[in-house]
Structure 1
Amino acid sequence: MSTTGNGRLPIRKRITGHRAAARTAGTRRRDDDGLPPPDEGRRWNETLSSAAVILAGVLVVVGFGFVASRAMSSHSEAPNIPVPEAPALGEVTLPSSSVSQGLIPLTSPSPSPSDSSPSPTPTTKAPPDPGALTVTSGAVPGTVDLSAEGSRDWVHWGEQSTFSLERDKKGGFAILEGAPTAPRFRHALSPQQFTWTGGDPVDHTDGTTTGIRTCGKGNGFSISAPAGDTTRTLKLYVGIISGKGRLSAELTTGSASASTTLQQKDGTFHTAVFTLRYRAPKDGKITLRWNTDDAFGTGCGGVALQAATLR
């Protein structure tokens, strides 16, 4: 080995030799202390890490198997796990778990609207109003003032001739006679008298016993007057001789009707007044038919007509 001029070793060689000696001494010291060399320690750490990873994998597999086993056993028997009591919501409180542990109570299904709603009440149509009509008969007073009695209208038959008709000037032709269907005759057989004022074509009279009549079965007279929803009164002054007469009345609006009879078998002239009270469901007419139902003997038996009033 070469040296420098002052008898020392070169610096490079000196350092290198020192480090080599130190490494040699270090190796020797670890060997002497029982510690593994650095390369062996690194290999040992790698071995422990691999073992830890394998152990963790084994634990995961075992845990998964345990959980799966518990899950499968839950199908056969539900665990008796108490259900926590639900908090109140506003004014409504959910059922407590003490009622049935592990089960959620289900409320009954609400009935459908068709089940809860009442069945509609069947509507019944009210029957049509038939109106009202009554007829009564009575005796005729000795004197009848037609203008005083007939506030709406009045008429008298036969004062001047067989076909004459005296009536109230202001009556508006409320009382009307239908067309004659049989021969008629003027008579003056009435035991009562009829008076009036304000008539046409005869203005007034102090009293008359005249009228008209027919002969034979089936013959007679037809009369009509206004009808409405207020009750009205129609009076018809009639007579009968040697026969049986029938008065029939009905409403043109409505179904109310009425009838009555009057009979006189001998040749005496018998009189009567028919009073009809009536009301119709709406404006219409009342129609009357005064006919001979039967005639007795060989003479001129049948019905007669004197006067009528309306109020």
Structure 2
Amino acid sequence: MESQQKSSTNPLSLHVSAIAPAGADTILLRLADRDGAMLPPAAPGAHVTLLLPGGIDRQYSLIEAGDALREYVIAVRREPNSRGGSAAVHDGLRPGSAIGVLPPRNDFPLVTDARHSVLIGGGIGITPLLSMASWLGTHGRAFDLHAAFASRPALLLADRLDRVPQARLHFDDAAGGPFPLAATIAAAPRDAHLYCCGPAAMIQDFIAMARADGRDDAAIHFEYFAPPPAAAPAGSFTVALARSGIELAVPPGKSILEVVRAAGIAAGSSCEQGTCGACEVRVIEGIPDHFDAVLSPKDKREGKSMMICCSGALSDRLVLDL
């Protein structure tokens, strides 16, 4: 009998069907419906949100994408300075554990009609790029995959990388330095789309080097798995909530999200660091001061939306669709 696909709008009640080692301090988890039901589809670059004990929500990129999925496959590295998410996964989840999962969301989409794609990943940042590489390979598209690690013992998901003939590995210690971002970007075809996921410093260098090489912002794609270093927005300003009909003062040191919730207004969020996109709100009037790692440079210039967990205002007043 054909299984019914799960709803794509509500949290999914899944279980951990398998856990396997995936490299240094990293595990591979397979998440499935207990009855074998089909799961909502996921495009290359998408992530899911795990609803962990203690009210912790964390986003993890899907290693496999597709329109007919019976499981979600993710890799979770135990972070030495974990805020609770990776520790909850490593210490609290076992095969058979029940887990709530929000359906896939894609803030790092693949441009599927690009003539050439260059995928650059650092450490655990290779996870969304593996789903992209799989799609590109299956559809016969030209691409390069570069995976950079501090050393060979730090290599993650080696079996997955072995399946990608285009994959090139870089180890900082063996090469005598970090991955050659500038040279890799310069060598890419001029009409290539460039993708990077990894440590914040790597992505900031990637963006700067791609722009210095004359690449169009529309061809520069990136996703942080940790927030970039940025000062908290300073200064006070006013937010007017168009739907709620109230105005609120946002004092220095407070986020819009904190002020809105203190006023009893419901507002979605997850990471609260500007990396997941869950708190994105439409801007009706005013000029946002962006501190997130989700919006593209073009989106930030246009100022039509903002992440209220971390971003502030360049104008004295913002009108938000809340």
Specify the TM-score bucket, using the shorter chain as the normaliser: under 0.3
Which has the greater radius of gyration? 1
TM-score, structure 2 length as denominator? 0.20
The one of the two structures with greater contact order (alpha-carbon pairs below 8 A, sep at least 6) is: 1
TM-score, structure 1 length as denominator? 0.21
